[in-house]
Amino acid sequence: MLKIHQGRLGLAIAGAATLSLITTSAATAAVAPSEDPVALGNAMSAVGVTGAALTIDYDCTAGPCPTGIGDSALAGFPTAGGTFGIITSGDANLADDANTEGGSGESWSQTGTPIAGDVWDQQVLRVDLPAATGNCLAFDFRFLSEEYPEFVESGYNDAFVAQLDTWNVSVDPAAQKVNAPGDFAAGAGDTISVDAAGPSSMSAAEAAGTTYDGATLRLVARTPVAPGSAHALYLTMFDQGDSILDSAVFVDNIRFENQAAGQCKSLALDPFEATTGASVAGVPTLSGTTLNIPVTCNLPQGPIGCPLTASVSFVNWGDTLPARKATTPFASGSATIPAATTGTIAAATTPEGIKALTAAKLLPKKLKKKAKKLLKKAKKLKAKAATLSPAKAAPLLKKAAKLIKKAKKLKKRARKLLKQPLGTFSVRLTNSSNGATAVTNVTLPR
């Protein structure tokens, strides 16, 4: 439903003719409106705040308020503690209303902001944080909007931006482009907005339980900081194109983490940065006709995992001579490995792959068995030669000597094989989200 508010910040502009102007009842206790920036900061911070400020002092005395504090479960929040913060371009009270109307929102008609002339109802919360206790600042968030899906790519690209220490946001309305240097809510190349694609795209399912028609996954924003340093976090929410329908962001668990190099990062259009984002974590193991491949997803902890397909070949070393090496398709399978986790891709084997592996395992035994037969045959020849004249025995003894020599070579080859690895599993991983591939060769012990 659409609510139009007329307050000290200006008159509301007319909405689309297809939307009716309906006044809603007060929100439930799950959301408490608040224009106290310190209270908002503390509701969403696991490390506390040293100060906070709101850029625009909207008139919240009449009931509607663009900011609020959630104190019970809503769309996967809170993620830590008992509260979380809500920043909207309209009325935070609406967040937990049932999604029974075609559109809901509060129009404050606040325009002419520093962002752009076509940006409305901007709100910026500055959260002053204590000295960092880790090398990575992180927080959990979800972006939600009533503009989805009707107004995607149609000029109403509401957005959320997170910046550290310096606020700088502008919009090019003609190109529907949000310019926010240092925005780490989604990472380079992907702004959190109604029009966003990739990992930060929206869906109706993610907004379940709220008044909004669409939402992103519950995401994690990260940016590097120096341990011991104090910072100001700027969280920006705004309408673009008009002030009618609300968009919102839920924020919680602002925290400091200690992350390995390269892991303190947020999502982007390609969070894997043109790589598979994964690595083979050990020697694959065979269980019946299934090859279990241990794989680690190297993304930092969060909702985006590694969607992988594995293709495995068996490289039979034989005597380790290049001419004797043979490659056989062995197994294939797929799985999504959760971020920062080692999981298993269960790959179905091929009959020819199993046959090649079995043959490689049995080769030393086969060589020894063949050598034994040759020696047995040589022994019979020597026994027969003992009953013959020297002239007639000579050819048999010569043949027996050749057999013995061949048997010795076979035994030597068998001993050599037993001291060497069985061969190699050549594992090709492909990330289905960006098509990146990588090959890892894993030596197989005999």
- Measured CA to CA in angstroms, residue 302 lies from 23, 87, 272, 337 at distances of 38, 22, 13, 12
Per the model's pLDDT, the better-predicted residue between 151 and 440 turns out to be 440
- Measured CA to CA in angstroms, residue 150 lies from 72, 147, 156, 205, 217 at distances of 29, 6, 10, 15, 19
Give the confidence band of 26 by pLDDT, cuts at 50, 70, 90: very low
Give the confidence band of 20 by pLDDT, cuts at 50, 70, 90: very low
- Measured CA to CA in angstroms, residue 401 lies from 370, 374, 390 at distances of 16, 10, 16
> In the prediction, which pLDDT does 115 show?
80
Q: How many helices and strands in the chain, by DSSP H and E?
A: 3, 24
Q: What is the mean pLDDT of the chain?
A: 87
Q: How far apart are CA 331 and CA 292, in angstroms?
A: 10
pTM of the model: 0.79
Quick check: 39 pLDDT over 60? yes
- Output the CA torsion sign for 173, 192, 30, 103: positive
- What does the DSSP 8-state code read for residue 419? T
Q: Are 96 and 104 in contact (CB under 8 A)?
A: no
Q: What is the mean pLDDT of residues 185-200?
A: 83
Q: How far apart are CA 123 and CA 60, in angstroms?
A: 13
Q: Which residues contact 366 (CB under 8 A, 6 or more apart)?
A: none
Q: What is the mean pLDDT of residues 406-429?
A: 91
DSSP result, 175-218: TTEEE-TT--SS-TT--EETT--GGG--BSGGGTTSS-SEE---
Q: How far apart are CA 309 and CA 334, in angstroms?
A: 4
- What does the DSSP 8-state code read for residue 80? S
Q: How far apart are CA 442 and CA 425, in angstroms?
A: 5
Per the model's pLDDT, the better-predicted residue between 201 and 162 turns out to be 162
* pLDDT, tens only, 131-185: 999 999 999 999 999 988 886 767 778 899 999 999 999 888 777 788 899 999 9
Exposure on the CB side of residue 300, measured as CA atoms within 13 A: 24
Q: Three-state SS for 237?
A: strand
Q: How far apart are CA 344 and CA 354, in angstroms?
A: 20
| Residue of 339, 42, 345 lying closest to 217 (CA atoms) | 339
- Output the CA torsion sign for 67, 72, 76, 82: positive
Q: How far apart are CA 349 and CA 268, in angstroms?
A: 35
Which amino acid, one-letter code, is at 334?
Answer: S
Cis omega before residue 130 (within 30°)?
A: no
Quick check: 22 pLDDT over 60? no
* pLDDT, tens only, 247-270: 999 999 999 999 998 899 988 888
Residue 122 host element (H or E): strand 119-129
Q: Three-state SS for 365?
A: helix
Q: Are 194 and 148 in contact (CB under 8 A)?
A: yes
pLDDT over 90 for what percent of the chain?
65
Q: Three-state SS for 172?
A: strand
Exposure on the CB side of residue 116, measured as CA atoms within 13 A: 22
User: Cα 296–300–305 angle (5° rounding)?
Assistant: 60
